[in-house]
Amino acid sequence: MRTIQNLLEPLQAKLHTGCTDVAIPEYAFGSDLMSDVLTLEDQVPLLITGLANTQSIRTAEMADIEIVLIARGKEVTKEMIDLANENDIVLLSSPFSLYKVCGILYQNGLKALY
């Protein structure tokens, strides 16, 4: 089984919360607009966003998103880490742009919702 651990190197990602032996999900969604994320009817296991504040983690909590990946090298704050820990959300960050992160994930088999 391929896990999040397999994505760390290609994304040059840092793991902030959770563990890396979680299976790579089938689908992902990328957006900086949390309103967009909250309108999704399908289950989204992984959110890619450049929005580095507590609302991206809150949105994940409300929408049952299991993994949040912060792009563009944005600083991940202690508040974000605490909130992710409290809600069992895997929190990662990558120095790459949202577009590049999405490309790498697509290459690794993660599909688009639509």
Residues in region 56-75 near another protein by CB under 8 A: 56, 58-59, 61-64
Q: Token match 């994930």: residue?
A: 105
Alpha-carbon distances of 1 from 21, 52, 55, 66, 92, rounded to whole Å: 9, 30, 32, 18, 20
Q: Is 6 helix (H, G, I), strand (E, B) or coil?
A: helix
Residues in region 4-33 near another protein by CB under 8 A: 32-33
Q: Is 77 in the site for another protein (CB under 8 A)?
A: no
Least distance from another protein to the Cβ atom of residue 49, Å: 8
Least distance from another protein to the Cβ atom of residue 25, Å: 17
Tell me, rounded to whole angstroms, the distance of Cα 114 from its chain centroid.
18
Residues in region 33-52 near another protein by CB under 8 A: 33-36, 38-39, 49, 51
- Per-state percent for the chain, helix, strand, coil, to nearest 5: 35, 20, 45
Least distance from another protein to the Cβ atom of residue 87, Å: 8
Interface contacts to another protein, rule CB under 8 A: 32-36, 38-39, 49, 51, 53-56, 58-59, 61-64, 79, 87
